[in-house]
Each structure stands twice: as structure tokens, then as C-alpha cells.
Structure 1
Amino acid sequence: MNFQQAVARQFNKAAKDYHQHASIQRLTANRLLSLGPREASQVLDVGCGPASTTAELLRRASHYLGVDIAPAMLLKAAADYPELSWLNGEWEALPVADNSVDWLFANLSLQWVDKLQQAMREAHRVLKPGGIVTINTVVEGTFNSFIKSWNAVDDLQHTHRFKSAERVQRAIGSVNWHRSEFVLEEHTQYFANVRELIGSIKGVGANYVRRTDNAGLMTRNRLQQLENAFENHRTLQGLPLEWSVLNIKLVK
């Protein structure tokens, strides 16, 4: 199983309960919408999930196309919007014609891309001249307290390795965009306990970890150690789960 297949499997698992856990995703989607055009002929929603932002995008675009790597997400999307087009595909090989899209929108899907420069070439390829990209990605600094707490337990990898904001900007700069804008924002969720926090991460499919074996999997003893370590990060609001999100606007 390659990286994209493994990511797709995680999001297939998350499809059923995605909406109830996606509070950060709704917040970041609204931020991206504020960067987009008021009107567009064709909008492409990459990583559309279970039609999470479809209603808002339809208010601004005459035609909508949703693409996602996870078939289970697309089934839920198509159930709510059977009249729209839904395609199974990935960032590195978008199933869309050249110069066919006015607006490419992608909310928190770019962090699951293995070959970022190729993804940016694909975004440039499908856009019409003058077309707009509004995308965001989770970057280094995300899950900071969670990672530090795991580091107190063992030296294994328990979360996805998110790219730095600088690395993302370099990859985007490798493509000849007419204009590019970047804004880094920080968001924090709070949870009563570690189980709720982990459940939230799993609920939005963000729990994929590249492993060569099962050495980093959860056991009852490890969970107890993690809970003990995480208490050092507790605030009056609860246990923090940080999200570092890089907002990006590009013009072809």
C-alpha cells in the first residue's frame, strides 16, 4: 500500500462521523472562502470530503466539481448532492482538463500530499489564465502538546510529520504563479481528556502515521503514560490540540 492509498483508507474510515468532529475544518474553510472570488464559472473542490463546503461554494459558482481521494467520502457527498459531479482522484494527478477551472478551492487536504511540487504543477495546469487558488495546509507546529507528551513516553512516531511553512512556500514558488500570498494562523481546540482528543483526530482522518511496523500502536499502558504526560499541558480550558494552518492565495 502506497502513501496515497494509506491516506485514503484513513479518510474512508472517518467518512461516517466526519461532520461531527470537523469544527476546525469549518473554521478554516470560512477563512478560505473569504479569500476567494465572489463569482466563478467553474470551481474545483480538491479534498471535498463529504461535501463539507459544497453549499457555500455553490453560492458563488455556476458549476461545481468535487474531487477526493477517499471513495467513502464521495459516497456521502453524492448522497446529499446527487446532481453534482464527484470524482475519485488525488492532488498529484487531478482528473480535470487543462485550463478548465476558474477557482481551485482546497480546505486542509494539501498536507496529505507526498509530492507537493507535482501537486502545485497540477493546480497550475487545470486553472484558466487569471484563475485563483485558495488553499490551506496544516504545517509544523500542529499537535505540538500532543507530540511533546508522546515524546515523554517513547521516541516513536505517533503523528504525521507535517511540513514546515517555509518548505511549503518553496514548493509553491517552484511554479510560475502571477501572484502568491501566505498567512499563517494558529488555532487551538481543548478537550476534557486524552481519549476525547484522540477521538477528534481520528474523527477527521488526521491520525495517519507512516510506520514500518506496529511498534507505535496504542496499548493500555502507553495510553496511561500519555495521559500522565499530557497533564503537564492542561490549561483551565482543558487539554490543548494546536493547529498551525498556512492560508495560501495564488493567481495564475
Structure 2
Amino acid sequence: MKPLNFQQAVARQFNKAAKDYHQHASIQRLTANRLLSLGPANVNQALDVGCGPASTTADLLLRANHYLGVDIAPAMLSKAAADYPELSWLNGEWEALPVADNSVDWLFANLSMQWVDNLQNAMSEAYRVLKPGGVVTVNTVIEGTFNSFTKSWNEVDDLQHTHRFKSAERVQNEVDSVNWRHSEFVTEEHTQYFASVRELIGSIKGVGANYVRRTDNAGLMTRNRLQQLENAFENHRTLQGLPLEWSILNIKLVK
């Protein structure tokens, strides 16, 4: 069997997550609200890149005359279309948006940009589809995310168990490779807490964030390996539970 490329592998993870996505998406709802606060009050055409199962569609419809949802995962689009059959849903990815040039007033993307293979290409696509004066409000997961989880795995082995997120500086440099008329960047930190490692891992899988791009073989999650991870993670437990950190870079751009 031919190995999956990066985007195909990411799509597969989100197809798996589509069924139970909403019940695990508390951080996604929080970050979406922050992005909405950065966006325009009223536009003609809104494009939701990485729309998932219509997670923020209702909010965008309040501000846009026309809405278009794009996602890399067909299963996510099926869930979205079931709730909003009257809207347009397209299968596509950041680096090849299935949208006409100069057609979008507002491009909104909540926690999808970290799954882009080439960020400069994605930004060029965003610029292409925007009308002059159009606005982009996006965010991305950056370095520092899953910090305690990663440190705990490092005590078990030296393999890669989480996605390698870019630094804020690197993201900013790649975004600014496009000649935006205006750009602004703000970093925010959020932490979730869980009673157990199993619950924490289930939450990561539930939102499709468990894809790991690696060349090594991390091996099966055996009972022994899980016990080692649990033991290591106990060193990070707080009164609130086991922490799962999210470092988020919020970005606003104007063409």
C-alpha cells in the first residue's frame, strides 16, 4: 500500500474524530470565540477553512450574507452538511483552496493552520482568495503546547509522541512572507485539566490532534508503557488534575 502523504494522514485523523468531536472541543470553542472577536461585524462572503463539523458556522452566519465551509476531512463535512444542508461544503486543503480569486471578504480558520505542510503556500492561497481590504482571522497551535505530556513521554522513551508545533517567531515570519497591508499577532495560553492520562489522551484523540509526523516507530501503547507514562505524568499533577497546555497564536491580517 502506498504510504499516505502529510495531508492525507491529517485528513484520516480528523475523519476518525468527526463522530465525537463536539464533546471534546472545549478549547476549540474558547479559541473560536477569541477569533470571532477579531473579525468584522458584517461581510458579504465568509470562508471557514477547517470548518470541521460546522463548529462555528452559526456564529459566522450572524455576520455574513454568504458562508462557505472547507475542510480536509470528508467525515467532518458530512456532519456539517447534516446540520446545515442548505449551505455549501467543499473538501479541500489550505494549500489549494477550492475558491475563486478575490472572492472572500473574511477568511476565518480556527485551529486548522498547524496542520498545513507549507505555511507560506497557505498564506499565498489566503491572499489569493481575499478581496482587496479583506480580513483573515486565524490561529494556530505553537511550541509549548502539550508541554507536560511531552516531558512525561520523554521519561519513558526518546521517541516522538506529539506533533512538532512551530515557534511563534517562525509562524510570524512565514505569515509575513506575504505582503499583507496589516498584520498582528497575539499569543494566549490555556490549560485543560484531566483526572487521568487515559482521559487526557482521549481528549487529544477526540479533536483529531493526535497525528504525529515521524520516521521512528513509537510502538504500541502497551499496559506497561501506559503505566510508565502515568507514573511520569503524576509529577505534573496539580490540585485541578493533570495539565494539558495549549499555546495559541492569534493572527489578524488585512489584504
Q: Percent identity?
A: 88
Matched, 1:233 2:236: yes
Superposition deviation, residue 210 in structure 1: 1.5
Matched, 1:4 2:7: yes
Q: How does 1:140-219 map to 2 (within 5 A)?
A: 140-212=143-215, 214-219=217-222
Paired letter, 1:62: N
Partner in structure 2 of residue 46 of structure 1? 49
Superposition deviation, residue 217 in structure 1: 3.5
Matched, 1:74 2:97: no
Paired letter, 1:212: T
Partner in structure 2 of residue 131 of structure 1? 134
SS of residue in 1 equivalent to 2:185: strand
Paired letter, 1:95: P
Superposition deviation, residue 213 in structure 1: 5.1
What whole-Å deviation, never above 9, does each CA across 1:1-60 have from its counterpart, x for those lacking one? 100000000000000000000000000000000000000100000000000000000000
Partner in structure 2 of residue 64 of structure 1? 67
Matched, 1:98 2:101: yes
Mapped contact 2:160–2:218 kept (Cα < 8 A):
no
What whole-Å deviation, never above 9, does each CA across 1:67-106 have from its counterpart, x for those lacking one? 0000000000000000000000000000000000000000
Question: What is the CA–CA distance in structure 2 between the aligned matches of 1:236 and 1:216, rounded to whole Å?
Answer: 32
- Runs of 5+ consecutive residues of structure 1 not aligned to the other structure: none
RMSD, aligned CA: 0.7
Matched, 1:222 2:225: yes
What whole-Å deviation, never above 9, does each CA across 1:157-187 have from its counterpart, x for those lacking one? 0000001111100001100000000000000
Paired letter, 2:64: A
Question: What is the CA–CA distance in structure 1 between the aligned matches of 2:166 and 2:59, rounded to whole Å?
Answer: 29
The number of equivalent residue pairs is 252
Matched, 1:114 2:117: yes
Question: What is the CA–CA distance in structure 2 between the aligned matches of 1:27 and 1:102, rounded to whole Å?
Answer: 23
Partner in structure 2 of residue 37 of structure 1? 40
SS of residue in 2 equivalent to 1:190: strand
Question: What is the CA–CA distance in structure 2 between the aligned matches of 1:27 and 1:191, rounded to whole Å?
Answer: 17
Question: What is the CA–CA distance in structure 1 between the aligned matches of 2:233 and 2:7, rounded to whole Å?
Answer: 31
Matched, 1:19 2:22: yes
Superposition deviation, residue 220 in structure 1: 1.2
Question: What is the CA–CA distance in structure 2 between the aligned matches of 1:211 and 1:122, rounded to whole Å?
Answer: 27
Mapped contact 1:47–1:107 kept (Cα < 8 A):
yes
Question: What is the CA–CA distance in structure 1 between the aligned matches of 2:43 and 2:217, rounded to whole Å?
Answer: 47
Paired letter, 1:39: N
Paired letter, 2:221: M
Paired letter, 1:40: V
Mapped contact 1:157–1:216 kept (Cα < 8 A):
no
Superposition deviation, residue 215 in structure 1: 3.0
What whole-Å deviation, never above 9, does each CA across 1:90-133 have from its counterpart, x for those lacking one? 00000000000000000000000010000000000000000000
Paired letter, 2:32: A
Question: What is the CA–CA distance in structure 2 between the aligned matches of 1:58 and 1:138, rounded to whole Å?
Answer: 25
Superposition deviation, residue 219 in structure 1: 1.5
Paired letter, 1:247: N
- Runs of 5+ consecutive residues of structure 2 not aligned to the other structure: none
Mapped contact 1:158–1:216 kept (Cα < 8 A):
no
